[in-house]
Amino acid sequence: MSGQQRSDRLARRGPIALALLMCVGGWGPPTGTQAEAPAPPARTPEPFGEVPRDPDDASFMSPPNNQLGQWSAGRQRPITRGFDDDHHLQLTAVPTYAAFRVPFIGRGSTPLRGGGVGLELDVRVLRWLFLRAYASHTIHPVFEETGFDEDANEVVLLANGGLVQATNTGIAVVYALDIGRFVPRVDVGAGLLFVRSPSAAQPGQWGAECRQGGVCDLGLSCSADELCQPTPLPEVHAGVGLDILLGQRWAVGLSLRYYAMIRALAQLPVYVHGSVRLSVRF
């Protein structure tokens, strides 16, 4: 091939080679001043937002102190306790078991059991000291009592059946041993006891003549007419109890109280109360 022909072939191929070179150069890595800086790596998002430049600009963490949440979180809590021991008045209904522990004329062995209800009103004098006014009424069923009179060789009536009833009223001083949800109490007081028994079947009972020496049944005294008539009996008593405070107003509890007659203090106890207490406080 002559030199002239080689030159003509190169001239024809020149534009094609130049185009290929430009394409290859466009796909290659940038060089010189046209090279672009690599993109910065993606930042991990902060759990509480972007970290501020100044720590004092950081927002407060959610309560409680960035710890795990609790089931009670957000629940409103009262600023008062679930009970209130700071009261001025307490009114108490007292369902009562009662028993007489002295013998009645013509009747069998004691105790003479029964039941009833009472009502108590406590007024606060000091935080731990109360003055109490109370009243109660109990009923004691009794049966007819008979015996055999060997001299007359016959059965005789010793006592009629019916009800022995006891009404008690008076005042007491109450000392609260503790101030809290559980309140033990000690009370000491005095009052009057009214006892009513069935009609007489023999001397010494209700409405009959007095026995020798002016002896009559419990709750009776010998009148100027030598008859056994009802007479209030002065009594003293002492007891213990426990109140459990419920909420701001209510309380429940138990109590035990012993009674003695002032004119017969050696006979202790004459009368006993065991009670359930249901109270409302103000």
State how far the Cα of 257 lies from the Cα of 238, in Å rounded to an integer: 6
Contact 248, 84 (CB under 8 A): yes
Domain limits of the chain?
A: 82-281
Categorize the per-residue pLDDT at 279 as very low, low, confident or very high, splitting at 50, 70 and 90: very high
Burial letters for 17-27: b for 16+ Cβ neighbours within 10 Å, e otherwise?
eeeeeeeeeee
Q: Contact at 8 Å (CB) between 277 and 243?
A: yes
Question: What SS3 class is residue 265?
Answer: coil
Instruction: For residue 142, give the amino acid letter.
Output: V
The architecture (CATH level 2) of 82-281 comes to: Beta Barrel (2.40)
For residues 153-164, give the mean pLDDT: 92
Query: Model confidence over 191-233: pLDDT tens digits?
Result: 999 999 999 999 999 999 999 989 999 999 999 999 999 999 9
Interval 93-121 mean pLDDT: 93
| CA separation for the pair 263, 258 (Å, rounded) | 16
For the chain, give the mean pLDDT: 82
What does the pLDDT read at residue 267? 81
Contacts of residue 97, Cβ cutoff 8 Å, sequence gap at least 6: 113, 114, 115, 273, 274, 275
User: How far is residue 211's CA from residue 104's CA, in Å, rounded to a whole number?
Assistant: 13
262 phi, psi to nearest 5 deg: -60, -35
Mean pLDDT, residues 102-117 = 91
